[in-house]
């Protein structure tokens, strides 16, 4: 049995979440908390396997409570939000940066449209995140990579695009990576980030407001511009055309995912050949691994995040174990590596 602590200031929400979670025979709610301070005390006393955390509470909000839990008693934490509006997403993203593992919408009342899907997603996420070993991370802020102002970029760049795959732990990793890229980064960046339903657009807006480089949701047919990050929209595969345009599709899920990193990597390899760099970051499973093989076969460069800086080493670990990574780097070194590689052709 996995022991869950439910944190929410609403008695109705606590009752609903408990009912949903305990409908699965492998989950038991050992306690509920009405606020952040009570959640901290119960986490220390009960040592639950996983916590569901409300966003807004009267004493400490979800971000502050998660931050304190990760210092005092690191525990896998899932943020459960009542809203996917931008302000709520921003708070949720801060909680992810503080150590929370996932961000979900609260299930609506039983019998409402979407209840079954939301309940199933909550149960699956809680069970999956309970398996993650949470550790304290004290990392330095990444230094911003710079491109000398007198550099001559008039000649053709060796690399025409960067493609990135991320899942669990991805939002804070991407934030650290993009915080280190210069605004004048000389290639477009395409991202597949696995997220819960309803949060991708808010995630892209939050990231755009947080990092120097521009971030947006990709649109079908738009020209890919250097210095812009294009995030795959919800339930659309993201690919590229040989002339450098974004291509969205509603093709079947690949390995259970749409968008799928494998689709992005394969498309980028087919369009740009050896002129693409593919990064596979923290995340569960192996989405993107088969796509890296296409990038490798086309002569492109493949990079995997190292185990120490990954929240979950599944995706990068699978790529490394299959010898598909040309470089293995901590997240704080990737920005400088990318800036040098894409600008000068060597890292």
Give the active site residues: 167, 194, 287
Instruction: Output the CA–CA distances (angstroms, integers) from residue 318 to 189, 306, 322, in the order listed.
Output: 23, 11, 6
3-state secondary structure 54-105: ECCCCCCCHHHHHHHHHHHCCCCEEEEECCCCHHHHHHHHHHHHHCCCEEEE
Instruction: Output the CA–CA distances (angstroms, integers) from residue 236 to 27, 42, 61, in the order listed.
Output: 32, 41, 33
Q: Which residues pair with 215 in a beta bridge?
A: 229
Q: Rounded distance, CA 209 to CA 223, Å?
A: 22
Q: Rounded distance, CA 85 to CA 263, Å?
A: 29
Q: Rounded distance, CA 137 to CA 221, Å?
A: 40
Strand, helix or coil for residue 346: coil
Instruction: Output the CA–CA distances (angstroms, integers) from residue 261 to 132, 143, 147, 330, in the order listed.
Output: 22, 27, 29, 20
Q: Rounded distance, CA 121 to CA 98, Å?
A: 22
How many CA atoms are closer than 13 Å to the CA of 47, on its beta-carbon side? Answer: 0
b (16+ CB within 10 A) / e for 126-154: bbbbbebebeeeeeeebeebebeeeeeee
Burial of 242 (0-12, 13-18, 19+ CB in 10 A): exposed
């Amino acid at each position: 049995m996995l022991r869950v602590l439910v944190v929410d200031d609403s008695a109705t929400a606590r009752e609903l979440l408990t009912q949903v979670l305990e409908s699965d025979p492998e989950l038991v709610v050992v306690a509920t908390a009405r606020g952040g301070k009570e959640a901290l005390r119960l986490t220390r006393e009960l040592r639950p396997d996983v916590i569901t955390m409300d966003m807004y509470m009267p004493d400490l909000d979800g971000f502050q409570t998660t931050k304190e839990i990760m210092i005092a008693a690191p525990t896998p934490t899932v943020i459960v939000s009542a809203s996917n509006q931008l302000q709520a997403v921003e708070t949720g993203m801060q909680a992810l940066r503080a150590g929370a593992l996932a961000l979900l919408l609260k299930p609506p009342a039983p019998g409402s449209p979407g209840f079954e899907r939301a309940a199933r997603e909550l149960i699956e996420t809680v069970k999956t995140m309970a398996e993650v070993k949470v550790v304290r991370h004290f990392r330095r802020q990444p230094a911003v990579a710079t491109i000398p102002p007198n550099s001559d970029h008039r000649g053709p760049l060796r690399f025409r695009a960067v493609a990135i795959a991320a899942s669990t732990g991805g939002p804070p990793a991407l934030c650290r990576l993009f915080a280190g890229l210069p605004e004048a980064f000389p290639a477009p960046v395409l991202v597949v980030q696995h997220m819960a339903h309803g949060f991708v657009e808010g995630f892209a807006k939050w990231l755009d407001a947080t990092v120097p480089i521009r971030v947006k949701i990709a649109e079908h047919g738009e020209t890919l511009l250097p210095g812009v990050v294009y995030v795959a929209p919800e339930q659309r595969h993201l690919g590229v055309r040989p002339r450098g345009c974004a291509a969205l599709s509603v093709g079947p899920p690949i390995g259970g995912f749409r968008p799928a990193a494998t689709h992005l990597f394969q498309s980028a390899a087919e369009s740009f050949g050896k002129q693409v760099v593919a990064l596979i970051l923290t995340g569960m499973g192996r989405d993107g691994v088969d796509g890296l093989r296409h990038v490798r076969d086309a002569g492109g460069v493949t990079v995997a995040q190292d185990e120490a800086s990954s929240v979950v080493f599944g995706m990068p670990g699978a790529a490394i174990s299959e010898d598909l990574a040309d470089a293995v780097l901590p997240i704080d070194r990737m920005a400088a590596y990318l800036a040098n590689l894409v600008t000068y052709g060597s890292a």
